[in-house]
Structure 1
Amino acid sequence: MNVKLYSSLLVVFMTDAVWTQSITTMEYDDPYDWSYYSFECPQECFCPPSFPNALYCDNKELKAIPIIPARIRYLYLQNNLIDTVTEKSFVNATQLKWINLNKNKITSSGIVKGVFSKLKGLLYLFLEHNELEEVPAPLPTSLEQLRLAGNKITTIPEGAFSNLENLTMLDLHHNKLLDSTLSSTTFQGLKNLMQLNIAQNSLTQMPPILPGNVVQLFLDNNSIEAIPEHYFDTMLKLIFLRLNNNKLTNEGLPNRIFNISSLLDLQLSYNALTRIPAITVHLEHLHLDNNKISSVNGTQVCPIPIPGDYVNERNLPRLRYLRLDGNEIKPPIPFDLMLCFRLLQAVVI
């Protein structure tokens, strides 16, 4: 079975527009009045004639967001010195769908409360690598992607995500989230969330009650020691799970905790495991490098009895990639391991 995983789609618009900062005359066969767009364009920004719905204000050392023209749908403000977000900038911007404010100096107190929630059609909001200490709220219910990586977030206001039913991707990696930051209601309401990234925080426990539709879950580089029993029972669509660089031990993994029929890619590198955990026949990629595993027993690891000589390929375990380097295992690869996982294409020891 070939499975293709489609995560968030990022549409990039490319133009061949040639421009100068001072445009005096322009001749176009196009019926649009391009001189009007040039006049309306904020002086410090670039409005490409061939893409009139976009406004490029990135890499301009701006300290404030200019007044955004009404026609703009795609707004690029990354790599500036902006520290505040006020309603004045967006009073006319009723068509905005995309805002990129990555790599600025924005603080939580610098965001006027409710400034984003008034942008009723906003789909993508990027605030990565700023100085935020909490998740901005309220946010528009239309939002599909929220990227907040690389901030200093320690607080998620109660109900911050409760109305974001359209959100498919939430990125909170590389912040300062603690176990106490996350409650059983934190992610309540995210009915369509497909990708959740909480890597590189300060968690010692698994987040309580995650949305059931999550397909990709990233929890790398925390200090998680154990996974509660039945933790994944309601996550029936989980395909990709990453728990690298944590403090997981054998005792912290309940028997068959990864018995998830949808799971195809499991990453447990850089933990403290001394044996291979039980997996399902459906798993295709398993990363266990840099643990403390000293031996491999193929008969014990195999999710089914070792298949005989005449077995239909459809009934074989689906594992194709197994990584075990950085452990205490010495070659050769155990023969019973190969008898079990006959579809293996690569084993790294």
Structure 2
Amino acid sequence: MNVQLYSRLLVVFLTNTVWTRNIRPMYDQPDTYDWSFYSFECPQECFCPPSFPNALYCDSKELKEIPAIPARIWYLYLQNNLIETVTGKSFVNATQLKWINLNNNKITSNGIEKGVFGNLKNLLYLFLENNELEEVPAPLPLSLEQLRLARNKIATIPAGVFNNMENLTALDLHQNKLLDSTLSSDTFQGLNSLMLLNIAQNSLTKMPPTPPANVIQLFLDNNSIEAIPENYFDATLKLIFLRLNNNKLTDKGLPSKIFNISSLLDLQLSYNELTKIPSINVHLEHLYLDNNRIDSINGTQICPVPIPGDHVYERNLPRLRYLRLDGNEIKPPIPFDLMLCFRLLHAVVI
């Protein structure tokens, strides 16, 4: 009798065990290390790391098109391929995507299906560097925080493409084919959170429209800019880094107090056509003026405050710590009044 009862209990126990192993309750989430659970839906051209189930690595596979992206994917890596087109069929299920890297492909503007990015309502980062785009893709999702479009052939920015993109913090358009006529007064309107604007290595001959008020880094290197309008920086109250290297700036093109920006810490004006050191703010810490046409330094004239006396608190001194002047026509020694003014200087390169 006991043997029969024990046998029946064993059968029931084994049956329940098989049942629970084969039918997973809806509320039971899959183990992130359960390779078998994810491998069946992983595109065969890609790699799905079991320890990072929300990521899909399809980079450097010589792909010519984007495979169907599983619904669970947040981070999609497609860089270094031969992709020419981006179509909606690849993203039908991928409604949770937050990050797409499509750098170093062969994508053209005509190869991007209308609205394919705009439909990705959760997308935060979009990387399309080193492609063959001729214009900024539109529409874009309002959720976007970073848009990287460097090293393309972009000569057109559709009207209103950045309107209402209040989450965008970084816009990189360097090394494209932007002209002065490409940028209108409202091109950057609505980018209220923008902190980085990079328009270096384009074909600008004048400053772009006034950047949004929250911009911290403005990069305009390697253009052909000759002058900066007076009061240009009045609205950029948070600007910290300004780069205007390799342009055609002259003394005449710089209003007398154009760089008197209290927030500015790093100013780069290398490889221009300046013959004198421009006025700076007392808070500036790094000044690059190498490879201009400067032939002399007058420390008293360029000091942003009257030359400090013998007894002065450090907090009241000009903050300049690094000054680069090599590649000009200046000959040593360094003027004594320069050192009297900028007593916090760690390095002067002549």
The TM-score normalised by the length of structure 1 is 0.91
Aligned: 1:331 with 2:332: yes
Cα distance in structure 1, aligned partners of 2:279 and 2:145: 35
AA aligned to 2:207 is: M
Q: Which amino acid aligns with 2:77?
A: Y
| Partner in structure 1 of residue 223 of structure 2 | 222
CA contact (8 A) 2:32 2:51 kept: no
Cα RMSD (Å):
1.0
1-side partners of 2:313 and 2:52: how far apart?
55
Tell me the alpha carbon deviations over residues 232-253 of structure 1, each in whole angstroms, 9 at most, x when there is no partner.
0000000000000000000000
Check whether the contact 2:33–2:51 (CA below 8 A) recurs between aligned residues. no
| Distance across 2 between alignment mates of 1:341 and 1:33 | 62
Give the equivalent residue in structure 2 for 1:261.
262
Q: CA deviation at 1:30?
A: 4.2
Partner of 2:207: 206
User: How do 1:95-114 and structure 2 match up within 5 A?
Assistant: 95-114=96-115
Structure 1 residue 296: deviation in Å?
A: 0.1
Letter in 1 for 2:251: N
Q: What amino acid is aligned across from residue 261 of structure 1 in structure 2?
A: S
Higher Rg: 2
Q: Secondary structure of 2:338's match?
A: helix
Q: Which runs of 4+ in 1 moved over 2 A?
A: 29-34
Q: In the aligned structure 2, how far is the partner of 1:58 from the partner of 1:68? A: 14
Give the superposition deviation at 1:209.
2.3
Taking the aligned partners of 1:31 and 1:318, their CA distance within structure 2 comes to: 52
1:82 aligns with 2:87: no
SS in 2 for 1:40: coil
Alignment of 1:1-349 (within 5 A): 30=31, 33-349=34-350
* 2:33–2:50 Cα contact (<8 Å) kept: no
Contact 2:246-2:271 within 8 A present in 1 as well: yes
1:149-170, Cα deviation, whole Å (9 max, x unpaired): 0000000000011121100000
Matched-pair identity in %: 83
Give 3-state SS (helix, strand or coil) of 2:40's partner.
Answer: helix
Tell me if structure 1 keeps the 8 A contact 2:32–2:53: no
- Alpha-carbon deviations, 1:165-207, whole Å to 9, x = none? 1000000000000000000000001000000000000000000
Counterpart of 1:248, as a letter, is L
- Return the alpha-carbon distance in structure 1 between the equivalents of residues 53 and 188 of structure 2: 37
Question: CA separation in 2, counterparts of 1:330 and 1:170?
Answer: 41
> Alpha-carbon deviations, 1:15-54, whole Å to 9, x = none?
xxxxxxxxxxxxxx94764312101000000000110100
Paired with 1:107 and 1:214, the residues of 2 have a C-alpha distance of: 29
Partner of 1:269: helix, strand, or coil?
A: coil
Q: Is the 8 A contact 2:162 2:188 kept in 1?
A: yes
Tell me how far apart the structure 2 counterparts of residues 235 and 276 of structure 1 sit (CA, whole Å).
Answer: 22
Summarize deviations over 1:74-127 as a string: whole Å, max 9, x none.
000000000000000000001100000000000000001110011000000000
Report the counterpart of residue 4 of structure 2 in structure 1: none
CA contact 2:32–2:52 (8 Å) conserved in 1: no
Q: Which runs of 5+ in 1 are unaligned?
A: 1-28
Deviations 1:213-271 (A, max 9, x none): 00000000000000000000000000000000000000000011001000000000000
- Is the alpha carbon distance of 1:57 and 1:31 closer, same or farther for their aligned partners in structure 2, counting shifts above 3 Å? closer
Distance, in Å, in 2 between the alignment partners of 1:234 and 1:304 is 24
Distance across 2 between alignment mates of 1:133 and 1:84: 14
Query: What is the SS of the residue equivalent to 1:319?
Result: coil
TM-score (ref. length: structure 2):
0.91
What is the CA distance between 1:210 and its match in structure 2?
1.3
What residue identity is the alignment partner of 1:220?
D
Q: May I ask how many residue pairs the two structures share in their alignment?
A: 321
